[in-house]
């Protein structure tokens, strides 16, 4: 590369108060650091100059002069090399601690002095380098040797000197480079450049077979690369070899490094290069009287920042105090002051050199916002030149710093949709796009009909960089349904996906398949929303999915945790709207496999609480057949209750729930849980569906067959003792649909036996009346008067049913079910029946009752005689003495002897045969105790009013219960006397 552009970014000013030491003629040895400039003269003095150009001097070498010196960067130490006037003397290294003073002279303290060992024929030092840690010093000699001094150089301790390099050419440059614990020494001669690892064993590597003149090498900062200036170019070297270079032809007198600049001093006219030992020093001295040129190059941005000629030549270039000082051959000191960055940028802007301005801003550590502003200026410039592509490439670099609307407005106005698309793409790539940007980008794609770009933008596996809802909306509006569905499916926008498939694409099977792959909560929600539409188009498939969902067999993603049961109470509902016009749809659809990661094949069956089937009833409007299938399947799979179709059962089977002549209704005090309530709701609805007359528009013959099958199922449902349903609701349904078998069964289950009789009586079903009477009459005598009243309700009925009437009367008489009075009263409720009808029955009953009265009179007479006998016996015991004539013991049977015990009951015992404290007769004690227990029980029962009332309520003849209580003396409250 070459530096073709030249600018004047430095101001050249002459320093008016130049120190006299700098105005002296002769060669100049200098260094700098810590805000100071160090200058050595030929008399052995070192002069320390501060920023105000005040000078402090001390004598460093009493006999000789200082030939080289270096100030350390991290320590306030100055390392100098000097030599005596005698040609045979060896160079001497002196180390000065500038923070300490000599007690005698008040000069900086010399902490160490070391001679460089060269033997008997010493050569002058041409170059030297010091490691910042002060552990190594490299001395380059004019004879091509490099001597390395190792040790604690900063203290007066033992150090070791070793020749690490020898060559026939003089040493023209030495520089240390530290990389961690590794130390590399760059060695430059007039014909070669070598790197030497001084950490261990001095491993050397030749970097180039071309060298450089004295003063034409230095070290860059902070990279620590070796910079070498030759006649044709400037080269950079690292430890492994040569790096970049840039062309700059011409002889170089010296090169220096300042910030990111290379300062080159060169003759104003071409001079032949000198490489021999004899004239190695002559290039600097001969150039003093000649016109020299100082050029400052910006290495990073590849341009010349300053160039000026000095008519008297250049003695030295010193970089300190944030500036460059050039000492001319006539002793004048010039300061090169760098212009501030805004000024330099303004110069570049005026010349439309925006790329150089950007590079300059970056090298000056400008923030990204400031750099983006330069890109904006560059883009505006190209836009004004109608270079829209170039302008957009600059605007792209402002993303994140420049308001996007600024760029968008420009290219909307210019109708440059391709450029605008690239800008919007980059906005999304950086994640800075808003919903409006997404909308605009997708509109651009659709206007360009660039499906490939649309696919690339939407069907990406990278991190999401746009607003999904906006992208779906725009694709849908533009008719790109596939892309909209892809996004909705990928990001699980279930509502949107189904809305597109059902409303736009009308791919109902694919929509149903998608719902099947959702988790059960989402499937519940979507089926309630779109179930009616899906049932209209694909009724069987939709019903199947609903069955799976409500029976716990819905496929859900294995990563989805089981959800809690939905807290929705079951509620009643009617089917007034279900029985609409039934039309079976044959709408077909393709079953293209979804691309969702949660596909059906990847899902597993997991446990969850199925939703309520009642919640889906509303979607079955117009589809009662599917609703029946749905409820029957739910009952079978979820509650293990299958309704098996069977022929209408005979009425002889009615009464399976009768236990001992009484029905067993469900206990209303038992509170049903939610699942039981759900079951009850389903059974009620299913019963209603079974009893609907017509579900479809099929032929009457087929429909009648299906009707009979449904009614058979309805009866099975009603009779199943494990099925809980609302009997009132069921009764109303049976009545509305004229389902006789159901009505009779429900009457029986609700113990409404009188209504059963009346039901058959209203239909003049005499056989069923008698059958019901025989079945329920024995436990419910009130049915007989009702039957008798029915037979005597009209002359025709009496005439027609005369035989049956006599059969009933015979049964009543035989079983003694009613009194004659009750029979007469039942038949006399109207004027149809006559006495002749019941003459035989009444005669027979009167004769029977007469005989019963005679038997009762005889029993009363016997009780009276026995009672009179007992009274006389009591009176005799109370008034007359009892004579005991027993000769044998009533216990052992032995002869009775004294002492003996006699009881009023005429039993006698040996005293020895009785217990000591026994007062009652052992023979009569058991009977006496039984009588006492009966009386105690009667006394206790006198306080048990609830028991008496319960018996009174349950009895067919209440008077009989009262009479029984009186007969047992329960009504007496006389307490027993112990």
* Residue 392 forms part of a structural domain: no
Instruction: Give CA angle at 363 (360, 368), nearest 5°.
Output: 85
Q: How many helices (H) and strands (E) does the chain have?
A: 31, 32
- Judged against a pLDDT cut of 60, whether residue 436 lies above it is answered with yes
Structure tokens at 135: 């552990």
Q: How far apart are CA 171 and CA 149, in angstroms?
A: 16
> pLDDT, tens digit, for every residue of 892-919?
888 888 888 888 787 888 888 887 767 7
Question: Looking at the structure, do residues 19 and 130 belong to the same domain, yes or no?
Answer: yes
> Which DSSP symbol is given to 602?
G
Q: Which structural domain range is residue 445 located in?
A: 436-491
Q: Which residues contact 580 (CB under 8 A, 6 or more apart)?
A: 621, 622
Question: Looking at the structure, do residues 173 and 64 belong to the same domain, yes or no?
Answer: yes
Higher pLDDT, 542 or 896: 542
Q: Of all helices (H) and strands (E), which one includes residue 462?
A: none
List phi, psi (to 5°) of 502: -85, -45
Query: Where residue 88 falls among pLDDT bands split at 50, 70, 90?
Result: low
Question: What is the reported pLDDT for 328?
Answer: 86
- Judged against a pLDDT cut of 50, whether residue 665 lies above it is answered with no
**With contact defined as beta carbons under 8 Å apart, do 310 and 291 qualify?**
yes
Q: In the listed set 319, 345, 371, which residue is the last one of a domain according to the structure? A: 345
Q: In the listed set 491, 525, 558, which residue is the last one of a domain according to the structure? A: 491
CA–CA distances in Å: residue 700 to residues 49, 162, 439, 690, 694: 124, 123, 59, 17, 9
- At residue 360, the 3 state secondary structure works out as helix
- Judged against a pLDDT cut of 60, whether residue 581 lies above it is answered with no
> pLDDT, tens digit, for every residue of 375-401?
999 999 999 998 988 999 998 999 988
- At residue 927, the 3 state secondary structure works out as helix
* Residue 592 forms part of a structural domain: no
- Judged against a pLDDT cut of 70, whether residue 2 lies above it is answered with no
Give DSSP secondary structure letters for 496-519: HHHHIIIIII--HHHHHHHHHHS-
Question: Looking at the structure, do residues 157 and 280 belong to the same domain, yes or no?
Answer: yes
The crossing angle, in degrees rounded to 10, of helices 835-879 and 802-815 is 10
- Judged against a pLDDT cut of 60, whether residue 287 lies above it is answered with no
- Judged against a pLDDT cut of 80, whether residue 285 lies above it is answered with no
- Judged against a pLDDT cut of 90, whether residue 188 lies above it is answered with yes
The CATH number of whichever domain residue 142 belongs to comes to: 2.130.10.10
Question: What is the reported pLDDT for 579?
Answer: 41
Query: H-type helices in 52-97, by residue range?
Result: none
- Judged against a pLDDT cut of 60, whether residue 445 lies above it is answered with yes
- At residue 392, the 3 state secondary structure works out as helix
Mean pLDDT of 220-243: 89
The mean of the pLDDT values for the chain is: 79
Burial of 595 (0-12, 13-18, 19+ CB in 10 A): exposed
Question: Looking at the structure, do residues 161 and 49 belong to the same domain, yes or no?
Answer: yes
Burial of 44 (0-12, 13-18, 19+ CB in 10 A): middle
Q: How far apart are CA 917 and CA 910, in angstroms?
A: 14
Mean pLDDT of 749-770: 83
- Judged against a pLDDT cut of 50, whether residue 486 lies above it is answered with yes
Give DSSP secondary structure letters for 549-578: HHTT---B-TTSPPPPPP---------TTT
Structure tokens at 32: 């700098």
Determine if the peptide bond prior to 111 is cis (ω within 30°): no
Q: In the listed set 345, 360, 384, which residue is the last one of a domain according to the structure? A: 345
**With contact defined as beta carbons under 8 Å apart, do 522 and 530 qualify?**
no
* Residue 586 forms part of a structural domain: no
> pLDDT, tens digit, for every residue of 111-125?
888 888 876 677 888
Question: What is the reported pLDDT for 227?
Answer: 92
**With contact defined as beta carbons under 8 Å apart, do 73 and 42 qualify?**
no
Q: How far apart are CA 767 and CA 623, in angstroms?
A: 41
Mean pLDDT of 355-372: 87
- At residue 241, the 3 state secondary structure works out as strand
Question: Looking at the structure, do residues 451 and 305 belong to the same domain, yes or no?
Answer: no
Q: Considering only 188-192, 327-331, 582-586, 640-644, which range has the smallest mean pLDDT?
A: 582-586
Query: H-type helices in 336-434, by residue range?
Result: 341-350, 354-363, 368-384, 388-395, 404-413, 417-429
Q: How far apart are CA 637 and CA 626, in angstroms?
A: 16
**With contact defined as beta carbons under 8 Å apart, do 264 and 229 qualify?**
yes
Closest CA to 643 of 707, 723, 733, 732: 723
* Residue 394 forms part of a structural domain: no
CA–CA distances in Å: residue 498 to residues 220, 476, 612: 67, 12, 22
The total number of structural domains that make up the chain? 3
Closest CA to 613 of 695, 674, 668: 674
* Residue 941 forms part of a structural domain: yes
Distance of CA 446 to the CA centre of its chain: 34
* Residue 862 forms part of a structural domain: no
Q: How far apart are CA 223 and CA 209, in angstroms?
A: 23
Query: Where residue 514 falls among pLDDT bands split at 50, 70, 90?
Result: very high
In this prediction, what percent of the chain has a pLDDT beyond 90?
10
Q: Which residues contact 853 (CB under 8 A, 6 or more apart)?
A: none
* Residue 257 forms part of a structural domain: yes
* Residue 672 forms part of a structural domain: no
Other Cβ atoms within 10 Å of 591 Cβ, number: 12
> pLDDT, tens digit, for every residue of 789-847?
777 766 666 666 777 777 777 777 777 667 777 777 777 766 666 666 677 777 877 88
Question: Looking at the structure, do residues 210 and 316 belong to the same domain, yes or no?
Answer: yes
Question: Looking at the structure, do residues 326 and 440 belong to the same domain, yes or no?
Answer: no
> Which DSSP symbol is given to 831?
S
Q: Which residues contact 462 (CB under 8 A, 6 or more apart)?
A: none
Mean pLDDT of 772-800: 75
> Which DSSP symbol is given to 2?
B
pTM exceeding 0.85:
no
- Judged against a pLDDT cut of 70, whether residue 269 lies above it is answered with no
Question: Looking at the structure, do residues 211 and 88 belong to the same domain, yes or no?
Answer: yes
């Amino acid at each position: 590369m070459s530096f073709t552009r030249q600018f004047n970014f430095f101001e050249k000013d002459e320093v008016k108060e130049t120190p006299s030491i700098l105005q002296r003629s002769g060669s100049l040895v200098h260094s700098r650091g810590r805000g100071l400039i160090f200058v050595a003269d030929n008399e052995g003095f070192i002069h320390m100059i501060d920023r105000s150009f005040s000078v402090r001097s001390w004598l460093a070498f009493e006999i000789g002069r200082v030939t080289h010196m270096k100030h350390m960067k991290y320590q306030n130490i100055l390392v100098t090399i000097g030599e005596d006037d005698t040609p045979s003397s060896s160079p001497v290294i002196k180390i000065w601690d500038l923070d300490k003073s000599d007690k005698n002279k008040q000069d900086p303290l010399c902490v160490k002095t070391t001679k460089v060992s060269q033997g008997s024929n010493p050569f002058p030092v041409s170059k030297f380098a010091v490691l910042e840690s002060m552990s190594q010093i490299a001395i380059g000699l004019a004879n091509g040797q490099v001597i390395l001094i190792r040790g604690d150089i900063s203290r007066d301790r033992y150090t070791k000197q070793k020749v690490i390099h020898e060559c026939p050419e003089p040493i023209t440059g030495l520089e240390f480079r530290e990389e961690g614990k590794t130390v590399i020494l760059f060695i430059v001669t007039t014909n070669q450049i070598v790197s030497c690892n001084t950490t261990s064993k001095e491993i050397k590597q030749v970097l180039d077979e071309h060298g450089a003149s004295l003063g034409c090498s230095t070290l860059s900062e902070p990279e620590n690369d070796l910079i070498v200036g030759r006649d044709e170019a400037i080269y950079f070297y690292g430890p492994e070899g040569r790096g970049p270079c840039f062309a700059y032809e011409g002889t170089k007198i010296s090169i220096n490094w300042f910030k990111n600049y290379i300062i080159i001093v060169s003759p104003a006219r071409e001079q032949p290069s000198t490489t021999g030992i004899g004239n190695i020093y002559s290039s600097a001295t001969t150039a003093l009287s000649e016109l020299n040129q100082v050029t400052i190059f910006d290495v990073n941005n590849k341009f010349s920042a300053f160039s000026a000629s000095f008519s008297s030549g250049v003695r030295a270039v010193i970089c300190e105090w944030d500036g460059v000082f050039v000492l001319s051959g006539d002793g004048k000191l010039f300061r090169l002051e760098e212009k501030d960055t805004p000024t330099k940028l303004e110069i570049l802007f005026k010349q439309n050199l925006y790329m150089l301005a950007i590079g300059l801003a970056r090298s000056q550590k400008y923030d990204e916002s400031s750099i983006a502003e330069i890109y904006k200026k560059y883009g505006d410039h190209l836009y004004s030149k109608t270079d829209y592509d170039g302008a957009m490439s600059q605007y792209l670099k402002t993303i994140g710093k420049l308001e996007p609307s600024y760029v968008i407005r420009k290219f909307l106005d210019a109708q440059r949709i391709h450029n605008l698309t690239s800008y919007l793409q980059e906005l999304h790539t950086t994640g800075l796009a808003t919903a409006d940007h997404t909308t605009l980008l997708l509109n651009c794609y659709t206007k360009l009909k660039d499906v490939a770009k649309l696919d690339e933008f939407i069907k990406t596996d990278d991190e999401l960089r746009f607003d999904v809802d906006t992208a779906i909306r725009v694709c849908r509006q533009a008719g790109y349904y596939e892309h909209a569905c892809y996004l909705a499916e990928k990001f699980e926008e279930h509502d949107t996906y189904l809305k597109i498939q059902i409303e736009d694409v009308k791919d109902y099977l694919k929509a149903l398949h998608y719902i099947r792959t959702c988790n059960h909560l989402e499937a519940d929600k979507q089926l309630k929303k779109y179930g009616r539409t899906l049932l209209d188009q694909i009724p069987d498939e939709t019903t199947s999915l609903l069955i799976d969902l409500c029976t716990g067999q819905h496929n859900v993603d294995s990563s989805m945790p089981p959800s809690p049961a939905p807290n929705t109470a079951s509620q009643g509902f009617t089917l007034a709207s279900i029985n609409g016009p039934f039309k079976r749809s044959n709408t077909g659809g393709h079953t293209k496999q979804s691309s969702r990661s949660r596909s059906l094949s990847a899902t597993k069956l997991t446990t969850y609480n199925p939703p309520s089937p009642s919640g889906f009833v509303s979607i079955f409007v117009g589809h009662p057949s599917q609703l029946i299938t749905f409820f029957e399947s739910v009952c079978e799979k979820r509650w293990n209750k299958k309704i098996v179709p069977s022929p209408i059962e005979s009425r002889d089977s009615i009464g399976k729930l009768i236990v001992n002549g009484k029905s067993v209704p469900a206990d209303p005090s038992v509170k049903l849980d939610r699942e039981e309530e759900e079951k009850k709701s389903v059974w009620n609805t299913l019963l209603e569906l079974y009893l609907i007359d017509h579900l479809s528009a099929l032929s009457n013959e087929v429909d009648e067959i299906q009707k009979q099958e449904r009614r058979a199922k309805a009866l099975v449902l009603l009779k199943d003792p494990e099925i809980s349903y609302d009997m009132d609701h069921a009764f109303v349904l049976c009545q509305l649909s004229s389902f006789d078998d159901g009505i009779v069964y429900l009457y029986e289950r609700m113990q409404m036996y009188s209504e059963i009789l009346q039901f058959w009586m209203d239909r003049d079903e005499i056989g069923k009346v008698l059958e019901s009477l025989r079945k329920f009459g024995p436990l419910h005598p009130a049915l007989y008067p009702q039957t008798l009243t029915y037979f005597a309700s009209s002359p025709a009925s009496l005439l027609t049913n005369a035989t049956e009437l006599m059969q009933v009367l015979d049964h009543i008489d035989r079983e003694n079910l009613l009194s004659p009075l009750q029979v007469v009263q039942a038949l006399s409720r109207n004027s149809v029946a006559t006495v002749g009808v019941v003459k035989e029955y009444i005669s027979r009953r009167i004769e029977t009752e007469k005989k019963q009265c005679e038997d009762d009179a005889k029993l009363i007479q016997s009780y009276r005689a026995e009672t009179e006998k007992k009274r006389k016996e009591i009176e005799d015991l109370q008034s007359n003495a009892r004579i005991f004539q027993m000769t044998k013991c009533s216990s052992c049977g032995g002869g009775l002897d004294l002492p003996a015990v006699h009881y009023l009951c005429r039993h006698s015992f040996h005293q020895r045969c009785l217990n000591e404290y026994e007062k009652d007769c052992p023979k009569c004690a058991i009977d006496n105790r039984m009588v006492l227990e009966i009386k105690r029980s009667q006394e206790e029962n006198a306080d048990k009013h609830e028991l008496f009332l319960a018996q009174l309520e349950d009895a067919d003849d209440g008077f009989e219960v009262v009479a029984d209580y009186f007969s047992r003396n329960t009504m007496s409250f006389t307490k027993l006397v112990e």
